[in-house]
Structure formats: structure tokens, C-alpha cells
Amino acid sequence: MKEEKIELTFTRAKLEELIQSEQDLIANTQHALSNAYAPYSGFLVGASVLLENGEIINGSNQENAAYPSGLCAERVALFYAGAKYPEVAIKTIAISAKSKTFEIDDVVSPCGACRQVMAEYQQKQGQDIRLLLHSPNDEVLIANSVTDLLPFMFNSEKLRKF
């Protein structure tokens, strides 16, 4: 038996410590979450994807009474970016959340399904995607790669062995 360790590196910052373009990207997430459709959970999420060509794609979570028919904000934005700009790399994903029913005092991390989708886009494009996870109190957790959120991703190489 061999024990191994995984080290993750991330940075915490206040919103005003980020460069202006990252502050602007987070401002986009705030606008996006105002368009969330979350009548059941009251949990609003906005995601903004910055593409290498400078385009910004926004997404918000969309719930449905027939669970799990809804979709998370991250996947809404990523799938739209992938459909509209299939050959353009994703540089950064910013995510913000707020709740109508309780106070959020720290960053909210993407769900497992969203992490997997982000990881596959990162693998497909062959370069890291930067993540900015923004909290309502303007704290930002910064990860320089999706791998920092999902170190053991399932990938297409696993499928090719069958």
C-alpha cells in the first residue's frame, strides 16, 4: 500500500484586489444571477465565461419543477460558449451565488457535474481555465486550473480502453 498526497493551490482575495478585467467579469456574474430562475430553491447562481477572443458568455441557473430538468449556471454558460464559439478557448470562468432564504458568507463551489464539464472543456482545449469563485461579501477564491477542483476527473482516455 502506498499513500500519496495531492496539493492544491488557490488564492483568496478581496474583489477590489483583482485586476479590473476580472472585477468586470464578476460584475457580469452579478447581472447573470439576477436572471436566474430559481423559484423552488431561492438559490441564485450566475456564471460568466471569458473566451480567448474577448467575448463574455453569461449563464444563470434554471430550475424546473420536474427535477432534475434544470441546469446550473456554469453549464448554461459553458454549453452556450461551446455551441456558439466551438473553436475558441475559455480563459476564465467567474461564478457568483446568493440566496433568497439564507445568508451565504463564503464562496460557493461548483457542483460535481459542473466540475466535470469544466474539466472536459479544459482537457479539450489543452490549456488551463482560471476560476474566480465570488462570495456575496466580495471574497474571491481563485484557482488557476479546473484540476484544482477536480483532480481525479473522468476523461475520454478512460473510455478508449474499452
C-alpha–C-alpha distance, residues 107 and 98, integer Å: 10
Beta-carbon contacts of 152 under 8 Å, excluding residues fewer than 6 positions away, are none
Residues found in the chain: 162
Asked about 74 being catalytic, the answer comes back as yes
Q: Among residues 74, 87, 103, 139, which one is catalytic?
A: 74
C-alpha–C-alpha distance, residues 47 and 37, integer Å: 14
Q: How many CA atoms lie within 13 A of 3 on its CB side?
A: 1
Secondary structure of residue 148 in the 3-state scheme: helix
C-alpha–C-alpha distance, residues 107 and 87, integer Å: 30
**DSSP character at residue 5:** -
Q: What is the DSSP string of 37-78?
A: B-TTT-EEEEEEEEETTS-EEEEE-B--SSTT--B-HHHHHH
Q: Catalytic residue positions?
A: 74
